[in-house]
Amino acid sequence: MSKTVETTPFQNQKMGTAGIRQKVQIVKQKNYIENFIQSLFNAIGGVEGQSFVLGGDGRYLNDIAIQTIIKMAAANGMKKLIIGQNGMLSTPASSHILLKYHLDGGLTLSASHNPGGENGDFGIKYATNSGGQCSSAISERIYQQTKQITSYKIEDVEDIDLSKIGTQKLGNMEIEVIDPVKDYLFMMEEIFDFEAIKKLFQSGFTFVFDAMNAVTGPYAIQIFEEVLGAPKGSVHQAVPMPDFGGLHPDPNLKYAKHLVDLMYSDHAPDFAAANDGDGDRNMILGKKFFVSPSDSLAILTDNYHFIPAYKNGISGVAKSAATSTAVKRVAENLHINYFEVPTGWKNFCNLMDSNRITFCGEESFGTGSSHIREKDGIWAVLFWLNIIAATGKSVEQITRDFWKKYGRTYYLRYDFDGIDTAVADQMMRDLENNLTSFVGQTFNGYTVKEAYPFVYKDPVDGLETKNGLLVYFDGGARICFRLSGTGTNGATLRVYIESYDQNDFDKNSEHELQNLLQVAFKLAKITEFTGKTQPDLTT
Ligand code: G1P
Ligand code: ZN
């Protein structure tokens, strides 16, 4: 029943920061998914006798792609596929299943926080037996395969029913359909103090979790409402939809504005959080209060001792170079390991595998720990709830206590979208060439202390990665420039800016960073290259 189908290569199947991502209309082309999957299987030496986990965030094409992958896995001799019911699994849950059942690999069908629906994006992330996304070396091998593929193997059978939990066979391959929430919930119960969080809800603490019509709805209903006792209706937009109900499922001030508006209104609950499409990002809000993701990582790290799973100590913490330096001060104070890595979660994985770090995070609303090898949205929310339950303090109080102890890092990311790729590359090359000439010069009152390209040498595999350009100023201010690796529309320039203040914690971030933003424009000649006089998105 297995057949071999001839095909011709696509030239645009290169994986970015987190897997392959493309517009749905591109992915819909005949053989597009088939080519990519077969190339992946070929690049890793085949999947015969292997066991994989498979699931997705339910976006448009999830149902079609999953059937294709099941049939191809069987035709390629895979031994077993564990699949989330109805094809659904959050990215963190998938990483957990991979590790818990010692599987060989995992495929997550998601373009993360990018919009879904027919005109949105689709994507596939590939994780290895380490539980984390494959290295750049492996994605390069896959890319090379995609450019020379001539045929793929697929079972010629009816679609598989994924609606019922249980085991079935496709040829020699076993398919186990699992409850996507169950194992994940067990893991969370082992990490956090569920009894304390239950008492918090019993005391009348009010809470909203916004699943943004994406994969975390069923997780959140079960964990927060059914197990922890948050009032029914605390989880908003809880039903996953192929187009996320038209939302851009990225939990930030722009795309989750409805939640921000609620939290700044007079009927705000005590605490609110949102997750992205595939459940690995999180946004944390208190009453009339927003916690910047870089601060959130630093605050969680500083409060690790409240969490049962970490109370015996943590080995270290890492952040992407672009993330604010707030957590660095915490690491110094706690005398734990501290690392800065290139953007992309896969860069934390070796550090976790070798027990150099316990926590890690990125400014892009991602926080996580070594319990899995992906960032974890619900984990971050439970961490905050656990701290609140343990201290009796509000989100705002916890954050202000943190600022008093360490000073405040004002931080924002400015994105310039849809730039011609060649122009963006030229702009970055130009900036890189000029970096050393900036040192010692003063721009808008800020004197450049150091300026260099960020190069990371992984302490485990020794591999070097270059990612972004850094400019440090006297007094703790900093600008980082880099190009996005997840966009599907030209290039996006990301400019990450921070300043540091030990006394005044009530400045408006946009206002505080305005002068530095002008410096960024000047250093990178943004207007000259792109014509843009303002960023397209500030988060
Ligand atoms: C973006 C974020 C990065 C994150 C990635 C996947 O990548 O900046 O922190 O790991 O999405 O969620 P970028 O587009 O900047 O390459
Ligand atoms: Zn995501």
Name which residue sits closest to atom 6 of ligand 1, judged by CA.
18
CA of 432 to the centre of ligand 2 (A): 30
Of 453, 458, 442, 535, the C-alpha closest to 497 is 535
**What is the Cβ-side half-sphere exposure of residue 406, based on CA atoms within 13 angstroms?**
24
Domains 184-406 and 408-538 are alike in CATH topology: no
First vs last C-alpha separation in the chain: 51
Percent of the chain having pLDDT more than 70? Answer: 100
**What's the whole-model pTM score?**
0.95
Q: How far is the CA of 353 from the centre of ligand 2 (A)?
A: 21
Answer yes or no: is the C-beta of 364 below 6 A from any ligand 1 atom: yes
Domain locations in the chain as residue ranges: 2-180, 184-406, 408-538
Residue pLDDT, tens place only, 72-82 = 999 999 999 99
Is residue 114 in contact with ligand 1, taking CB distance under 6 Å? no
User: Quick check: 38 and 154 in contact, CB under 8 A?
Assistant: no
Beta bridge partners of 6: 151
Residue 268 DSSP label:
-
Residue nearest to atom 15 of ligand 1 (CA): 484
Asked if residue 307 has pLDDT above 90, the reply is: yes
Catalytic residues: 112
Span 182-198, average pLDDT: 98
Average pLDDT of span 182-197:
98
pLDDT of residue 1: 84
Is the pLDDT confidence value at 374 over 80? Answer: yes
Alpha-carbon gap, residue 217 to 339, rounded angstroms = 33
Label the pairing between strands 207-210 and 235-236.
parallel
Is pLDDT at 234 greater than 90 in this prediction? yes
**Which ligand 1 atom is nearest residue 344's CA?**
10
CA 329 to centroid of chain Cα atoms: 23
Helices (H), 28-111: 32-43, 62-75, 91-100
**Which pLDDT score is estimated for 420?**
96
Per-residue pLDDT, averaged over 212-226, amounts to 98
CATH class of 2-180: alpha beta
Percent of the chain with pLDDT over 90: 96
Edge-to-edge order in the sheet of strand 207-210: 235-236, 207-210, 271-275, 282-286, 289-291
- Sole residue written with tokens 């094809």: 87
Residues with CB under 5 A from ligand 2 (ion): 112, 276, 278, 280
pLDDT confidence of 508, banded at 50, 70, 90?
very high
Report how far ligand 1's centroid is from the alpha carbon of 122 (Å). Answer: 15
Return the CATH fold of 408-538. TATA-Binding Protein (3.30.310)
Mean pLDDT of 100-126: 96
pLDDT, tens digit (0-9, with 9 covering 90-100), for 130-154? 999 998 889 999 999 999 999 999 9
Q: How confident is the model at residue 487 (pLDDT cuts 50, 70, 90)?
A: confident
449: pLDDT strictly greater than 90: yes
pLDDT(488) > 80? no
Given this model, what pLDDT does residue 212 score?
A: 97
Give the pLDDT confidence score for residue 64 in this predicted structure.
Answer: 97
Task: Please enumerate in sequence order all residues whose Cβ is within 8 A of that of 519, keeping only pairs 6 or more positions apart, or say none.
Answer: 443, 444, 446, 479
**pLDDT higher than 80, residue 17:** no
Number of other residues whose CB lies within 10 A of the CB of residue 373:
25
- Quick one: residue 231, left, alpha or beta (phi over 0 = left, psi -120 to 50 = alpha)? beta
The predicted pLDDT at position 486 comes to 78
Provide CATH code, domain 184-406.
Answer: 3.40.120.10
Give 210's DSSP letter: E
Beta-strand (E) ranges in 92-156?
105-109, 121-128, 151-155
Task: Please classify residue 392 by burial: count the beta carbons closer than 10 Å to its beta carbon, then call 0-12 exposed, 13-18 middle and 19+ buried.
Answer: exposed
**Whether residue 496 has its Cβ less than 6 Å from ligand 1:** no
Angle (nearest 5°) at CA 248 between 243 and 252: 150
Residue range 243-292, pLDDT digits in tens: 999 999 999 999 999 999 999 999 999 999 999 999 999 999 999 999 99
